[in-house]
Amino acid sequence: MSPRNTSASTGGAHQPRTTSRHTGLGRIIVAVYGVFALSATARAAYQIATDFSAAPLAYLLSALAAVVYIVATISLATRRRGGWALSLGAVLFELVGVLVVGTLSFAAPQLFAHPAVWSHFGSGYGYIPLLLPLLGLWWLWRHRPRQDSAADVLQS
């Protein structure tokens, strides 16, 4: 019998499946997102608390990045229904944010008196903010929910 959980093997109760999205490289991606969630949160909190008037746009964008990293970390780590879709939304939002803020930081540098997490495409973080959503999207695509997942949910 297949190791998947189905309504037949669980007495009719739906249980989340264990997927390879939560092992190996998936765990590393979650860990990197977690580190960025912590570092962006700490950076934004410190900047907003100590010198907000110096660069409000940059500091608010750093806070937005922190929220996105927190959502991505939690949604990537969860096995709950909807976690994959929330992860996809967070990672897509992150990619668009990095591209827009990165472009603006070069095109209109006066808007960024101080750097934000995503300014200059994340150069202050070794360009990881630019590469991480690309890796995340690739990973999510490779581990997208199977078509029969919807049938399993409907059967429960």
Reported confidence tier of residue 80, pLDDT bands at 50, 70, 90: confident
Q: Is 4 exposed, middle or buried (0-12, 13-18, 19+ CB in 10 A)?
A: middle
Reported confidence tier of residue 126, pLDDT bands at 50, 70, 90: very high
What local confidence, expressed as pLDDT, does residue 10 receive?
Answer: 46
Neighbours of 74 (CB within 10 A): 18
What local confidence, expressed as pLDDT, does residue 60 receive?
Answer: 96
What local confidence, expressed as pLDDT, does residue 2 receive?
Answer: 43
What mean pLDDT, rounded, does the chain reach? 85
What local confidence, expressed as pLDDT, does residue 5 receive?
Answer: 44
Mean pLDDT over 130-146 rounds to: 94
pTM of this prediction?
A: 0.79
